[in-house]
Structure 1
Amino acid sequence: MFTDPTPTDADWPIAGETVRHGTGVNSNRAFPTSGFPANLDPFVLFERFYIEPDTGFPMHPHKGFEIVSYMIDGGMDHADSLGVEHTARENEAMRITTGGGIRHSEFPADGAACNGLQLWVNLPREKKGVEPDYVDASAAELPTRELDGATVTTVVGDGSPIELHTPMTYLDVRVADGWTWSVPDGWAGFCYAVAGSGTVDGRAFGEGDVVPTRSGGEFEVATDEGLRLVAVAGRPHNEPIRQQGPFVL
């Protein structure tokens, strides 16, 4: 089902890898890593960040892509050069369109540690210079569906106020029994285990693991103990992703 040559089909799920950045923030990065040294067009990178009270990301620049931050636990204070100041808390989301350039900072709120997920999505070549923009969504604004075997919250996609310049979906899925992840043909994507354990197409899948795809398809997720994952998919731009630190050119 997973056809990208790096890694081979036999290699997934892939374990995320620890990276350290900002003023000492530790993250579990899904990609790109030494185990999966590639982007997943249109996605530049994805990681789970853990910000302790004495660490964070002071004001710094970005351009050329969009950022989706989704909080798992605690609160994160955001401030940017647009004049926005906002605290995102558990199950809340923020989207930044960096476009032609923006500066922002991220620190834990209330003197307590926080953790969450951050996704970078490439902007297509013709939109690299768009005006920077920001939007956030509370947990109540993100639609949630109860299915047989799973509860699915849409972070990006139908019904969510979070929209990007790239056609894509971003789901927060709490699997109690089973769930099928359907990725449109030709789309790229990945699922990432946030907590718990289970299987994807019969293969063991637990916290910090990643299952990528570049060609769409269906993946059967199952669990006996409970599993929380995010499933992200988008339409590729079919353009090179050229990341230079905080910029995607």
Structure 2
Amino acid sequence: MSVFIRSATVMQEGAGARVKRLMPLPAFMNFDPFVMFDHFELGAGTGFPEHPHRGFEAVTYLFEGEIEHRDNLGNVSRVGPGGAQRFTAGAGLVHSEMPSADTQTAGIQLWVNLPRELKGIDPSYEEAPADSIPEIGFHGGRERRIAGEQGRVSLRTPARYRHLLMESGSDFSLDLPEGWRAIVYLRLGAASVNGERLAPAQAAFVENESAIHIDAHAGSELMIAAGRPHGEPIRQRGPYVD
């Protein structure tokens, strides 16, 4: 099957954070090269206190609110709506992500696996304020290019990470290089991906396709994560991907 649909599972993570998780889950751990996809919602006093990571890269993108990142490299930064941050855990990183505003904070955290040859690289961090992210208009919508190819934030895996805002009746297409896979997640609205209908908090997982085609049946917001699989064993244990 070239397109299959999965619904996110609601759970608690960190310190009282509510997440809608596509993966990792016991029945569906990863979708090479992607190893986690969380749609998080943080209220006052909740978040992700200090914890370790290694073996992958993570991009946090915000829809609303503000989040503060701190790590053992000495980085301290805040990202608001439409902004992003990327850390490369590599050989090891300790960090925290906590809301720094009194309002509701919501966004997506995407983990992208590192190839085996790069698992031991030095950790690093990159911040991307909202006004630095390229935004491309199309008929009936906007495409925000967050990370990867043509995106603001760099990744060590060939990938494209996008936020789409679409009016009802609009459509959008993205070509996929041979062998790439993609996740299309619907945050709000109603849309179809290659003819398969999505409801909010559902995602289409796409493989063996030359393109993604999205039709918006209402005003909609979607996330697209497309990338080239590494084709290597993935050993995933909590915050580590070895």
Where structure 1 has 5 or more consecutive residues not aligned to the other structure, the ranges are: 3-8
Amino acid of the structure 1 residue aligned with 2:24: P
Amino acid of the structure 1 residue aligned with 2:11: V
Give, in whole Å, the separation in 2 of the partners of 1:94 and 1:119.
Answer: 11
Amino acid of the structure 1 residue aligned with 2:232: E
Q: Does 1:162 align with 2:153?
A: yes
In the TM superposition, residue 219 of structure 1 has moved relative to its aligned partner by 3.0
Q: Report what 1:178 is aligned to.
A: 171
Amino acid of the structure 1 residue aligned with 2:177: P
Give, in whole Å, the separation in 2 of the partners of 1:211 and 1:75.
Answer: 28
Percentage of pairs with the same residue: 35
Larger mean CA deviation between 150-159 and 49-58 belongs to 150-159
Larger mean CA deviation between 120-129 and 156-165 belongs to 156-165
Amino acid of the structure 2 residue aligned with 1:215: N
Amino acid of the structure 1 residue aligned with 2:39: R
Q: Does 1:61 align with 2:52?
A: yes
CA contact (8 A) 2:149 2:158 kept: no
Give, in whole Å, the separation in 2 of the partners of 1:148 and 1:139.
Answer: 22
Amino acid of the structure 2 residue aligned with 1:99: G
Q: Report what 1:29 is aligned to.
A: 21
After TM superposition, the structure 1 = structure 2 runs for residues 1-249 of structure 1, keeping only pairs within 5 Å, are 2=2, 12-33=4-25, 37-176=28-167, 177-249=170-242
Give, in whole Å, the separation in 2 of the partners of 1:216 and 1:32.
Answer: 23
In the TM superposition, residue 20 of structure 1 has moved relative to its aligned partner by 1.2
Report Cα offsets for 1:103-129 as digits up to 9, x if no partner. Answer: 001111123320100001111111111
TM-score with structure 2 setting the length: 0.94
Give, in whole Å, the separation in 1 of the partners of 2:25 and 2:203.
Answer: 11
Give, in whole Å, the separation in 2 of the partners of 1:208 and 1:140.
Answer: 27
In the TM superposition, residue 203 of structure 1 has moved relative to its aligned partner by 2.9
In the TM superposition, residue 55 of structure 1 has moved relative to its aligned partner by 1.1
Give, in whole Å, the separation in 2 of the partners of 1:28 and 1:105.
Answer: 19
Give, in whole Å, the separation in 2 of the partners of 1:119 and 1:22.
Answer: 16
CA contact (8 A) 1:96 1:133 kept: yes
TM-score with structure 1 setting the length: 0.91
Q: Report what 1:5 is aligned to.
A: none
Give, in whole Å, the separation in 1 of the partners of 2:215 and 2:151.
Answer: 26
Give, in whole Å, the separation in 2 of the partners of 1:142 and 1:28.
Answer: 25
In the TM superposition, residue 184 of structure 1 has moved relative to its aligned partner by 1.9
CA contact (8 A) 1:16 1:209 kept: yes
Amino acid of the structure 2 residue aligned with 1:120: W
- Change beyond 3 A, Cα 1:215–1:201: closer
Amino acid of the structure 1 residue aligned with 2:172: W
Report Cα offsets for 1:140-170 as digits up to 9, x if no partner. Answer: 1111111123311100134433111111000
Report Cα offsets for 1:184-221 as digits up to 9, x if no partner. Answer: 22011210011111222333212111000232432321
3-state DSSP class of the match of 1:55?
A: coil
Where structure 2 has 5 or more consecutive residues not aligned to the other structure, the ranges are: none
In the TM superposition, residue 237 of structure 1 has moved relative to its aligned partner by 0.7
Runs of 4 or more consecutive aligned structure 1 residues displaced over 4 Å after TM superposition? none
- Change beyond 3 A, Cα 1:145–1:61: same
Give, in whole Å, the separation in 2 of the partners of 1:119 and 1:216.
Answer: 22
Give, in whole Å, the separation in 2 of the partners of 1:227 and 1:33.
Answer: 26
RMSD between superposed Cα atoms in Å: 1.5
Larger mean CA deviation between 234-243 and 199-208 belongs to 199-208
